Structure 1
Amino acid sequence: MAVTVRAGAAPLWWAGLVAAAAGAFVPGLTGSRIGLLAGAALFIVTAAVVALARGKRYAELARSASRAGRGDFLQDRAVTVRGWRRGRRWWLLAAFVVAVASSFALPGTGGLLLAGAGAGLWLKAVRIGQRERREDVLYWVRTDWTGRGGPVGKRVKAHRTTGPEAGDAAPGGARRRRR
């Protein structure tokens, strides 16, 4: 489940940083100093809002999680990340273009907003990973339940758990390091 949350963090983070860097070289209507300061404030606010959004629903589903059964289809981390990014690549591209274009008004602000969303998703995945380590489980969402709502959408009835060594993901959705 943390893999689904974390899948969007890297593309948003890097697209945001590139857009902010491109915007820093555009004078814009307000000047680069005001634009970058506004972007820094938006970065912090966006990261906090994204990290805390739907936290009660995540906790509720984690409390009611049951052990994954034989009939549950749980997919690997790589498949989940690839599917998430492919399904949203046009939205990510559009967000990047809008962030770069917004630099003509407020330089760097749109890019830092995107980067803040990526940082917020990463922070949310870290919080989920802390819970997974504390409870010594990995949380999963059945693939047939996920959809537009993501890992806590309306279609998700409950989370499933497995042992911490299951699959190719570490707690928090990171890639598992093999020794």
Structure 2
Amino acid sequence: MGRGGYTVARVAVLVRAPVGWLWWLGLLAAGCGLLVPGVTGRRIGVLAGAALFLIALAVAATVRRGRYGKLAGAASRAGKSVALQDREATVRDWRLAHRWPLVAVFLVAVGASFAVPAAPGLLLAGTAAGLWWKALWLGRWEHEHESLLWVRTDELPRPWALGGPGHAAVSGYLTTGVVAGDARPGGARRRPEDVPVR
């Protein structure tokens, strides 16, 4: 990717952005489903939910990892004219763009939880755990290569499209040094002790 005046967001921050929302909405949906026995009964629902949690965790943690690795391996250095979007703005933009998909997924999970108690909610929670694991994997890559991965915001897919920063529409990543931006490797909030003294 060449140089130019555009905005880029951290790849790991985008991967982490859904985690908190999916986790708590999933637990809330599971709790709502446990209020009634449901069609299958609570015991079967919880056992099915535990299995779905593990499956969703594995899928979310591994899907498109090859694509992420390929884009990371071919990443080019970000030019000086590139604007680095801060972590808070990236998370806020993601939340605003995905608020209706989140509402829809939550309502579907709540409705289905009354049929199979806890299972749909635990599916959402498992997805959150898998995305968190993927963000940690990206963080390990960034640590090992001493580079942070960024993606152009104008190449990110629309809210209803799956794939995030690993989507086919993304042509490549950019890299910066590990002190750039306000998020640590892996997308977590940067702590004061992470900033080097100049």
TM-score normalised according to structure 2 size? 0.87
Q: Please tell me the residue identity of whatever aligns with 2:68.
A: Y
Which residue number corresponds to residue 141 of structure 1? Answer: 151
Which residue number corresponds to residue 168 of structure 2? Answer: 154
2-side partners of 1:73 and 1:143: how far apart?
10
Structure 1: any 5+ residue segments left out of the alignment? Answer: none
Stretch moving more, 141-150 or 1-10: 141-150
Which residue number corresponds to residue 178 of structure 2? Answer: 164
* Deviation sequence 1:49-75 (CA, Å, 0-9, x none): 111000110000010011110232331
Matched, 1:3 2:13: yes
After TM superposition, which residue ranges in structure 1, 4 or more long, deviate above 4 angstroms? Answer: none
The 3-state SS of whatever aligns with 1:141 is: strand
Q: Is the 8 A contact 1:5 1:122 kept in 2?
A: yes
Matched, 1:39 2:49: yes
Which residue number corresponds to residue 89 of structure 2? Answer: 79
Q: CA RMSD in A?
A: 1.1
Matched, 1:93 2:107: no
Q: Is the 8 A contact 2:32 2:114 kept in 1?
A: no
CA positional deviation for 1:13: 0.7
Structure 2: any 5+ residue segments left out of the alignment? Answer: 1-10, 194-198
Show the 5 A alignment for 1:41-120: 41-120=51-130
Percent identity over paired residues: 56
Aligned residues, how many?
179
| Distance of aligned partners of 1:163 and 1:58 in 2 relative to their CA distance in 1, 3 Å threshold | same
Q: Please tell me the residue identity of whatever aligns with 1:161.
A: T
2-side partners of 1:62 and 1:71: how far apart?
21
Matched, 1:13 2:23: yes
2-side partners of 1:93 and 1:145: how far apart?
24
